[in-house]
Amino acid sequence: MNGLHRVFITGLGIVSPLGLDTDSTWSRLQKGHSGIDYITAFDSEGFDTRFAGEVKGFDPESYLERKESRHMDRFAQLAVVAALEACRQAGLDPKKPDPYRVGVIIGSGIGGIITLSQQMEVLSQRGPKRVSPFLIPMMLADMASAQVSMVTGCMGTNYCVVSSCASGADALGQGWEMIRRGQEDVVLAGGSEAPINPIAIAGFNSMRALSRFNEDPQKASRPFDTNRDGFVMAEGAAVLVLESQESAESRGVTPLAEIKGYGATSDAHHLTEPGPAGQSAARAITLALNSAGIEPSEVDYLNAHGTSTPLNDRQETKAIKLALGEDAYRVPLSSTKSMTGHLLGAGGALEAAFCVLAMRDGVVPPTINLNDQDPDCDLDYTPNQSRQHKIDVAISNSFGFGGHNSVLVFANPERGR
């Protein structure tokens, strides 16, 4: 590897619409359960979309001191809780042996929009002197990463990646790059988002990006289905412990998976629409495979971006075919967004975690609500039921508004020994 370090995943932390931890989320995902329901965070009467993927039953004070949690926006609370679980699973104390060799990179597409919108109301109704002094340090997109650092004691590199819906994937890609070149020994990397509030729902509705299938929210997210009509907004966080081979071996920890490759490109095409030919997204897949030293014939599973929007699903299918060739028809795919909704900047990290779990358990999770497959989407999307399947190599696609394309490749840690 030309002196570059191998990078393992040794811990996972998840807070999602399907559960408050990794085990409950993964269990429900394999069973094809939906985490989508009518919005409870605010009164959605009059909105074109009245449902979302909310994290249900989340009480930050069950994990954090009351004063500590009250100085965090919800997206930061979710990130900290996911990071604490990931560290527990990895048996990691970031303060030992050298906290300056443990970094944090948490992506977020929107940041503290709940706090910002609440304080805008305070400004409007009560005047500027009543705006909270915590507005700025709670709304900034880097505050999930900062709070994870403060709560865990990580003192290495600490920043936020903002690349819309590719943010979480890019955070993992950057963490991988840091460790493999020797800058850090460990990086807590992932994404967090808490966008379920009136201004975010109204804004996405105004651009006609969200599904409006209010009749049955659990069937609203239907990637690759002819009747898909938009994505479903969701909240949550996923944090993965990335660790050099040397660090993992010195701690005696068993790796869950290895990050083998990362590729990123830009469509340079449109604010919200993916490139029409899928070429740039395909290039990101190819770059990731090339950096991993893996051929399309070796890929066993692909977690698709699969947003359930008419354009994305069609263009992603084109991109997969361009990148994998005939192997595109062999590889089982799934869009787990059919069950979780779209966690925006946290989506790529959550789906990376799903790839790791799929590899660990030999299970391809389903794409639910796929009952009338779009003829233009003619690959194997694992409709409606999970499938037992040995997975040694997995790909995760993440594509974001602005044309961001980010792809990660994972492998069984025993594969390269």
Q: If we measure between CA atoms, which residue out of 119, 136, 137 comes closest to residue 128?
A: 119
Alpha carbon 229 to chain centroid distance? 22
pLDDT, tens digit, 9 for 90 and up, residues 129-183:
999 999 999 999 999 999 999 999 999 999 999 999 999 999 999 999 999 999 9
Of 165, 355, 377, 404, the active-site residue reads 165
| CB-count exposure of residue 4 (10 Å: 0-12, 13-18, 19+) | exposed
CATH number given to 7-251: 3.40.47.10
Residue found under tokens 């409950």: 24
From residue 173, give the alpha-carbon distance in Å to each of 74, 272, 310.
25, 23, 28
Sequence-separated (6 or more) residues with CB below 8 Å from residue 297: 327
Here the tokens at position 354 are: 């799903």
Hey, what amino acid is at 42?
F
Sequence-separated (6 or more) residues with CB below 8 Å from residue 130: 122, 123
Of 160, 305, 377, 404, the active-site residue reads 305
pLDDT, tens digit, 9 for 90 and up, residues 245-275:
999 999 999 999 999 999 999 988 777 677 7
Question: What is the gyration radius of the CA atoms in the chain, in angstroms?
Answer: 20
pLDDT in tens, the chain (417 residues): 468 999 999 999 999 999 999 999 999 999 999 999 999 999 999 999 999 999 999 999 999 999 999 999 999 999 999 999 999 999 999 999 899 999 999 999 999 999 999 999 999 999 999 999 999 999 999 999 999 999 999 999 999 999 999 999 999 999 999 999 999 999 999 999 999 999 999 999 999 999 999 999 999 999 999 999 999 999 999 999 999 999 999 999 999 999 999 999 998 877 767 777 788 999 999 999 999 999 999 999 999 999 999 999 999 999 999 999 999 999 999 999 999 999 999 999 999 999 999 999 999 999 999 999 999 999 999 999 999 999 999 999 999 988 899 999 999 998 755
Q: Cβ(47)–Cβ(205) under 8 Å?
A: yes
Return d(Cα 94, Cα 152) in angstroms, integer: 6
Alpha carbon 379 to chain centroid distance? 23
Sequence-separated (6 or more) residues with CB below 8 Å from residue 81: 13, 15, 20, 58, 60, 63, 64, 237
Q: Cβ(230)–Cβ(208) under 8 Å?
A: yes
Domain(s) labelled CATH 3.40.47.10 in the chain stretch across 7-251, 261-411
**Catalytic status, residue 355:** no
Q: If we measure between CA atoms, which residue out of 287, 310, 263, 301 comes closest to residue 404?
A: 263
Within 76-202, strands assigned E span 102-107, 158-159, 186-193
| CB-count exposure of residue 330 (10 Å: 0-12, 13-18, 19+) | middle
Q: Map residue 165 onto helix, strand or coil.
A: strand
Q: Angle, nearest 10°, between helix axes 198-206 and 113-126?
A: 110
Residue found under tokens 């909704």: 341
Please tell me the CATH superfamily of domain 261-411, with its number: Thiolase/Chalcone synthase (3.40.47.10)
**Catalytic status, residue 269:** no
- For 88, phi then psi, to 5°, come to -60, -45
The full length of the chain comes to 417
Q: Cβ(286)–Cβ(245) under 8 Å?
A: no
Here the tokens at position 309 are: 């929007």
Q: Map residue 221 onto helix, strand or coil.
A: coil
For residue 196, count other CB atoms closer than 10 A to its CB: 25
Q: Map residue 246 onto helix, strand or coil.
A: helix
**Catalytic status, residue 165:** yes
Hey, what amino acid is at 268?
A
Question: Which strand (E) or helix (H) includes residue 23?
Answer: helix 22-30
pLDDT value for 1:
45
Q: Cβ(360)–Cβ(36) under 8 Å?
A: no
Here the tokens at position 186 are: 């460990």
Here the tokens at position 195 are: 């966008």
For β-strands 404-411 and 393-400, DSSP reports them as: antiparallel
Q: Cβ(99)–Cβ(87) under 8 Å?
A: no
